Amino acid sequence: METNNGSADTDFILLGFSDRPQLEPIISAIVFIFYIVALVGNTTIILVSYLDPQLHTPMYFFLSNLSFLDLCYTTSIIPQMLVNLWGPRKSITYGGCVLQFFFALDLGATECLLLAVMAYDRYAAVCQPLHYTVIMHPQLCHRMVLTTWLGGLGSALILCSLTLKLPRCGHRAVDNFFCEMPALIKMACVYSKVIEIVVFALGVIFLLVPLSLILLSYGVITQAVMKIKSTAKWQKILNTCGSHLTVVTIFYGTAIYMYMKPQHTTSQNEGKFLTLFYTIVTPSLNPLIYTLRNKDVKSAVRRLLWIKKC
C-alpha cells in the first residue's frame, strides 16, 4: 500500500507491541507518565543548576549535561512511539528512522563516557579535597564534556554507516518500538560478522572501559571514606556517591546485557522490554535519584521558589 506522499517503499514499519494489542493502551499510558516525569525532572535539574550560584560546581555541571542527554534521548524516541501506539499507523519515514538510530547511539555512547567523568569528579572531591578546585578547573570540565560528546558522535557515525549499508532485501518491518541497532541488524537478509566485531569492540571501549574506571574510582573512594571519622561528612559522601552508583548500575547493567551479547542470542520480546526500560524508565529515574537524595538540589529548589524550610 502506498502512502499519500508516495513514500511507501522507503517508510519503515515499527511493529512495537502490535503482537500484543491488549498491552498497547497500558504501555502508552505508562510511557506518557514516565516521559512527563523525565521532562519535568531533567528540566528542573538543568534550570536549578544554572540559576543557583551555589550549584555552579563541576558536579552539577556534569549533572546538567546528563539531564540534557536524557532529555534529548527520550524526546528522540517517545513522541514517535506514542503516535504509533495511539494511532492505527505504525510507520516512520526512512529519514526519521535514521535520525532515531543515530541519536540513540550518539547519546547512549556519550552517557557512558559522561558517567565515567562524573565518577572521576567524585574521586577528586573525596580523595583530593584540598586540590579539588585546582584539579577540576572549568577549562578541564568543559574539555572532558566535549570529549564525551565527540566520542559518542564518532561511535554513532561508525555504527550507523555500517548498519545502514546492510542489504534489507525489501524488509521494512522493524521489530521494536523505535529504530534501534539490534532490531535493524536483524532486519538485514545477511549475517555480518564485521558488525558484530565492531559492536563488541565499541562495547568494550564505551561500556567495559568506562565501567572499569568507575569501579576503580569508587574502590579508591571507599578506602578514603573508611578513614573518615565524621559521621555527617561520611553520610554526605555516601549520599552523593550512592546516587551516581545507582544510576551507573541501572544504565550499564541493561546496556551491557543488550549490546555485549551476540545480537542473535537475544529474543525480540526480551529485547523490547529491556529497551523500554533503559530508554524510558532510566532517564525518568535519574533526576529522582539525584534530587531525592541530594539536599543541595532540594535546598536550591526551595530558594528559587521562595519556599522556606519549616
| Residue owning grid cell 522493524 | 174
**Mean pLDDT score of the chain, rounded to an integer?**
83
Which is it for the CA torsion 149, 137, 286, 116, positive or negative?
positive
Cβ neighbour number for residue 163 with a 10 Å cutoff: 22
pLDDT value at position 292?
62
Kind and range of the H or E element at 276?
A: helix 268-276
What pLDDT score does 75 carry? 93
By CB neighbour count within 10 A (0-12 exposed, 13-18 middle, 19+ buried), where does 134 fall? exposed
Amino acid at 124: A
Residue whose C-alpha is closest to residue 14's, from 174, 168, 171: 174
Residue 305's Cβ-side half-sphere holds a number of Cα atoms within 13 Å equal to 12
Show the domains of the chain with their CATH numbers.
12-304 (1.20.1070.10)
Alpha carbon of residue 301 to chain centroid: 24
pLDDT tens for the chain, 310 residues long, are 344 444 455 688 888 877 777 878 888 899 999 999 999 989 988 998 898 888 899 989 999 999 999 999 999 999 988 988 887 778 889 899 999 999 999 999 999 999 999 999 989 988 888 899 999 999 999 999 999 999 999 999 999 999 988 888 878 888 888 888 888 888 888 888 888 899 889 988 998 899 999 989 888 888 887 777 766 666 767 766 777 788 888 888 877 777 666 655 555 566 677 778 878 888 888 888 777 666 777 777 777 777 554 4
Instruction: Give the chain's radius of gyration (CA, Å).
Output: 21
- Provide the 10 A C-beta neighbour count for residue 277: 15
DSSP state for residue 15 in the 8-state scheme: -
pLDDT score, position 67: 93
Q: How much of the chain exceeds pLDDT 70, in percent?
A: 87
Q: Is 73 within 8 Å of 107 (Cβ atoms)?
A: yes
Measure the CA–CA gap between 131 and 303, rounded to whole angstroms.
29
Q: Are residues 113 and 151 in contact, defined by beta-carbon separation less than 8 angstroms?
A: yes
pTM: 0.85
Q: What is the torsional sign of CA 67, 71, 77, 82?
A: positive
